[in-house]
Amino acid sequence: MKFLRALIFGTFIFIGAAAAGAQTKLTFSSITSPSAIAYAADSGSSGTGSVTVQNKTTTSASYFFTCKTEVSARIATSGSNSITYHVYKSGVTPLATILPWSYNLTYNDVLYGTVARNASATHYYDIAVDAGHWVPAGTYTDTIEFELDRGVPGQNNLQGSKTTSIAIQVEPTIGLALLTAGTSYVAGALSTNLDFGTLAAGNTQSVNAVVRSNASWALSITASSGGNLKYTSGTGEVFQIPYSLYFNGSTSPTSLAAGSATLLSNQSWTSAGDQSYQLKFVIGAFDIVDPGTYSDAVTVQLTAN
């Protein structure tokens, strides 16, 4: 008997989806900028923004953020005017500047951490403007860039970068001080007494109106007795002695007959800092008057246009 051996061949087709390759880079997922930073020259100011890293790799990972914008280029502008600012690590004392990759970086110079798999981490930075910048009022803007690296400072393993805009709102600031000649601006020096001693025609007394303003401004004066020193006797009779105002070296007096006068109008911001203007008061001729103390109240007003 012959045996027949059947060979059966089968073909198997394997069907399935290949697993996607695991992500190998960290994700620079977001950056926020501070709200508009309101700046006053006397106090300085700051605002806080954030950067966020997301880890979709298979393991936890160390990382750090740098601020790519060079330190010398951290300048916000408004037209042809500019103001410098700092980028600091938020909440750190003493202040720590976030540096670009071009520096020999340490942990003190960057925002850093370790992020677990499938997790994210957010860090905060401050945009700070020092007190003392004297620039015109307005909105100053700039764009800064942060970079995310994997690893530790000193390793260059760039994962991504993002930019954000910043805005510094320089508030209008005006100030007036009434001071003796040669005295620098003193905040709050808003009153003074000019004592002519025994009154005689030609007697003079002076005071300087020192103006500080980063916006356009005007200066005016009001004399409550219209350019006269007055004295009321015990019987109620009013005596007066005239005086004249000579403004800032002028040889012609400024009339106070109407009770007030504009000294300067539509002046530009005081780019040189404080500006000083002399107010010289000169006693005019007068007839015989009752003895007593003669006075007037004079108000100097600085107004932002």
44-53: pLDDT as tens digits? 899 999 999 9
Residue 153: the pLDDT is: 94
> How far are the Cα atoms of 16, 90, 149 from residue 19, in angstroms, in the given order?
9, 41, 27
Residue 304: the pLDDT is: 85
- Looking at domain 27-170, does it have CATH number 2.60.40.3590? yes
Phi and psi based region of residue 68 (left: phi greater than 0; alpha: psi -120 to 50; beta: remaining): alpha
User: Which DSSP category does 106 fall into?
Assistant: -
Name the amino acid, one letter, at 235: T
Q: Is 66 within 8 Å of 160 (Cβ atoms)?
A: no
- Distance CA(241)–CA(160), nearest Å, equals 79
Q: How far is CA 20 from the centre of its chain?
A: 51
pTM recorded for the entire structure: 0.74
**Per-residue pLDDT tens over the stretch 275-290:** 899 999 999 999 989 9
**Per-residue pLDDT tens over the stretch 243-267:** 999 999 999 999 999 999 999 999 9
Q: Is 127 within 8 Å of 161 (Cβ atoms)?
A: no
- Tokens in use for 200? 């005689």
Residue 3: the pLDDT is: 36
Q: What band does 274 get if pLDDT is binned at 50, 70 and 90?
A: confident
Q: Is 46 within 8 Å of 134 (Cβ atoms)?
A: no
Topology (CATH) of 174-304: Immunoglobulin-like (2.60.40)
User: Which DSSP category does 195 fall into?
Assistant: -
Residue 17 has pLDDT above 50, yes or no: no
- Tokens in use for 45? 């100011």
Residue 268 has pLDDT above 90, yes or no: no
Name the amino acid, one letter, at 148: L
More confident residue, 181 or 263: 263
Residue 272 has pLDDT above 70, yes or no: no
Q: Which range, of 11-25, 145-159, 213-227, averages the lowest pLDDT? A: 11-25
- Distance CA(45)–CA(61), nearest Å, equals 35
Which positions ≥6 away from 19 have C-beta within 8 Å?
A: none
> How far are the Cα atoms of 146, 209, 272 from residue 66, in angstroms, in the given order?
6, 49, 37
Residue 209 has pLDDT above 80, yes or no: yes
10 Å CB burial of residue 205 (0-12, 13-18, 19+) is middle
Rounded to 5 degrees, φ, ψ at 106 are -125, 175
Mean pLDDT of the chain: 90
> How far are the Cα atoms of 54, 66, 131 from residue 119, in angstroms, in the given order?
6, 20, 39
Average pLDDT over residues 12-19: 39
- Tokens in use for 213? 């303003």
The residues of the chain that CATH labels 2.60.40.3590 are 27-170
Nearest in space to 67 (alpha carbons), one of 27, 45, 96: 96
Q: How far is CA 265 from the centre of its chain?
A: 26
Residue 270: the pLDDT is: 74
Q: What band does 4 get if pLDDT is binned at 50, 70 and 90?
A: very low
Sign of CA dihedral 32, 35, 40, 46: negative
**Per-residue pLDDT tens over the stretch 79-88:** 999 999 999 9
Residue 13: the pLDDT is: 40
